[in-house]
């Protein structure tokens, strides 16, 4: 079990829902990945992410899908692509990422709480 953190520390992590607008394979990445362009609504707008989710997802199958992402980490250079948000997922029994998403449609940009 991990060490407890103060609730105020948890509130510093800004987790929002977004809708995938565009997705492309990213074969140049060190490990197979997909480049995502995600709409987080009018407050945040469109942000990019590189995600290692190729075991369970195709670029075509991600279009229109809602995902959860941390939107307030600093951007990170992934090869030649700047990843601006961290898309969230959980490992399956083989360690491959399964995306976290709401079980019903919600407006883009909604903050997790």
Q: Model pTM?
A: 0.93
Boundaries of every domain in the chain: 7-99
Q: How far apart are CA 8 and CA 10, in angstroms?
A: 5
pLDDT in tens, 54-106: 999 999 999 999 999 999 999 999 989 999 999 999 999 999 999 999 999 99
CB 98 within 8 A of CB 56: yes
Q: What is the pLDDT of residues 1-37, one digit of tens each?
A: 788 999 999 999 999 999 999 999 998 888 899 999 9
Fold entry, domain 7-99: OB fold (Dihydrolipoamide Acetyltransferase, E2P) (2.40.50)
């Amino acid at each position: 079990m991990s060490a407890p953190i103060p609730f105020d520390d948890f509130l510093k992590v800004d987790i929002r829902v977004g809708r995938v607008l565009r997705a492309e394979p990213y074969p140049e990445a060190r490990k197979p990945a997909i480049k995502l362009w995600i709409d987080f609504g009018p407050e945040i707008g469109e942000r990019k992410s590189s995600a290692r989710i190729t075991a369970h997802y195709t670029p075509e199958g991600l279009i229109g899908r809602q995902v959860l992402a941390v939107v307030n980490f600093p951007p990170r250079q992934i090869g030649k692509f700047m990843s601006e948000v961290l898309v969230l997922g959980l490992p399956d029994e083989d360690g491959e990422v399964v995306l976290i998403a709401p079980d019903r449609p919600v407006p883009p940009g909604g903050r997790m709480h």
